[in-house]
Structure 1
Amino acid sequence: MRRTLRVHGRRTAATVTLALALTATAPQPARAEPGTLTEVHAELERLYHDAEVATNKYDAADEKVTEQERRVRSLRSRIEAAETRLGRLTSLAGAAARAQYRGDSLPAEMQFALSDNPERALDNASLARQAQQATQGVLTALGATRKDLGARTDEASAELKRLRASRSARDTERHSIERHIADAKELESRLEKKEVARLAALEKKEADDAQAAWVGTGILDKVGTAATPAGRKAIAFATRQLGKPYVWGAEGPDSFDCSGLTSQAWLAAGHPIPRTSEEQWRRLKHVPIEAMRPGDLVIYFADASHVALYIGDGKIIQAPRPGRWVYVSPAASMEILGVVRPDA
């Protein structure tokens, strides 16, 4: 998402016609229809930003379900391993008990009395008794472990059920995303070709101006220029995705949303990170902007609703919004919240 333009344009015949057409064909809106080209752009930015915020919520709910599914699978695997070992030791203990019942192993007192070597018989009896006690101790501990794992698995399964229900409830977010995107596309579809070109020019001008102001602070003389080996892998992955379309909720291989791209880039580099830009901002190590290096993630807007991969020379690779594709753009073309480092 790009921030709202602050360039004030003239009210043209096309945009007046647009406003009248929107008013005539749509129910009475809660907010005034955009009139000037700048207002149209601002409304588009609002719609796409709201869609991205909703996408983050949707992705976060999905990630929680995925993580809980992994936890339940892990617990069930541990239960199976405990049951296998418990069964094996129980079988061995049973075999030992049957052998003793058959007389293969006499009580220690009888072995001592009948043996030609009483000292050896005493040692054997002591070792047998210690083995039996040790086996019983392991069986008791394994039984307790199995019971604990069972209880934890039941709790985890119940939580997974709750999270799945919560994810289903997130259909409201899905509908919200689709509504915002549909409204934005409808608004864009009413623009004439020359207005679309002017919007693109205004957007580029704001991006260039913001970048020039940022570079003018001397920031690029301070930031790092060398990526770590993992950072280079993340950049290489993101570079291979250039030109692929933005699709909300997507994390490859054919399309991405903003955090889908960054999370998959760092997964390819061997560093799994949170799925959403909000969680990337919350859970990864923060670094000062002047200390960032290629491979770091740049988080945008006060609500951390957008993220991109810094590739050096003041540039980022990002998946911007619906209708766009993964591309290289100026790092300061949007409102920077901060920088995080996945491989700190």
Structure 2
Amino acid sequence: MPLESMNAVLLTGHGDLSNLKYRTDVRIPQPDTDEVLIRVKACGLNNTDIWTRKAAYGTDDEGWKGDLEFPRIQGADIAGTIVSIGSEVPDSRIDDKVLVDNALYGDTDNEFQALVNADLIGSERDGGYAEYVAVPAENAHRIDSSLSFAELATFPTSYVTAERMLNRAGVGADDEILVTGASGGVGTGLVQLAARRGARVIGMTTAEKMEAVRELGADTTIARDEKRFTAAIDTWTEDGLDVVADVVGGGIFQKLIETLRPGGRLVTAGAVAGPSTEIDLRTVYLNQIDIYGSTMGTQSEFEDLIRYIENEEIDPVLADTYPLSEIRDAQRRFSQNDYVGSIVVIP
């Protein structure tokens, strides 16, 4: 008799970790005609999981902008194998080893509109904190790699976000780029992907993580404490940096702008130090600075990421794994930020 239920973690409402409920009797989803059913082998954690649970996104009075229904199975960074298919999906897809692009782009040719309005697997529909997940077939990208499923699960959301940031800022081989938050998921992606392009990379992180960031491909690193950062600015501003890729935000933002040469570019895709900041607009317009906002990535950028992994042009940075049943401990560890790379849960 086929299995009907699975282990999964249900998010039962916005709030603290008590809203994450590990269950062993959740019904296995059935793929629609254009979908596939994936046996989840690993699922990475990312900031979206935490911020969604805490209702930290959006602009309405309750802090949430979106159509989230509870209970919800979170988990965006899914690696696994296809075990069942919908009627419109070729039989050849059975047993494919896949990475999942969690963005559901909708029916528009405008990539900016598609990204702004995208629903997300693990948010607007159930994700990978479970033994099985059903996703559109086009979102399950076949991958030919000897990496473990846990290693593969470190890539999807963080690295496609990083790739788009570099594309938005037009980073190339002649550029010198400062990466903030260089030890996190997106940060390690930025370091590796910028180095892959031949750019000279400066990684900003804590003093104890600097060596690990250099091993990922950073040409040099700086500690993010204010004294050392201010001293570094004094050495950079004579000529200025070409690009800053920022995931930190907060009070450091104006100082980041000041590191750029005339005509330099800043791309931002995060605000872990806070979403509000003060900037001196004179620095921006007098120095002809370009500022880009960026989030997630396109289907083609995800396909590029698959190619980089298959060609072994980038490496996984797996900090630790937890069984899915210990999701609360995994998220506590994630929030401590005492590691380099990504944390992954195993169903």
Give the TM-score normalised by structure 2. Answer: 0.24
Greater C-alpha Rg:
1
Pick the structure with more helix per residue: 1
